[in-house]
Amino acid sequence: MKWLDEQRAYLKKVGPARYWTMIVGTVLFVSIWSFSEVWVSGQIGWPEAYGVHCHRKCLLPWMWNSPKLLLDGSVPAIAMFALLWLPLPAFLWGISKLARNPKSRKRM
């Protein structure tokens, strides 16, 4: 229940309006991103149409084979490439912020 206690403390710290705005915004962003990825991959047949066959833990094989999307050159293929690669800089930025924060280092 440590996570729940942390969430309650954060709710008190930032206030209910900001807290719920962040929660709803995060859920909305992840939902839109996931829907977009599923829709675009259905449009172009990714990954099977590009010779990538994976059934479990597919993110790294998809990223490794994603330059095939750029060779296609169509707008949906380039959009799929962007959907695969754009979250990576945000993830790395978040990890770097956590690494610089001494309080969060204890949880890592």
Along the 108 residues of the chain, how does pLDDT read in single tens digits?
A: 788 999 899 899 989 999 999 999 999 998 999 999 999 999 999 999 998 888 888 888 888 999 999 998 899 999 999 999 988 888 888 788 777 776 655 554
Contact, 84 vs 41, CB < 8 A?
Answer: no
Residue 66 is given by DSSP the state T
Residues near 55 by Cβ (< 8 Å), separated by ≥ 6?
Answer: none
**In b/e form, how buried is each residue of 21-57, taking b as 16+ CB within 10 angstroms?**
eeeeeeeeeeeeeeeebeebbeebebbeebeeeeeee
How many whole angstroms separate alpha carbon 2 and alpha carbon 103?
A: 15
* Burial environment of residue 88 by CB neighbours within 10 A (0 to 12, 13 to 18, 19 or more): exposed
State the pLDDT at residue 108: 46
State the pLDDT at residue 70: 92
State the pLDDT at residue 90: 80
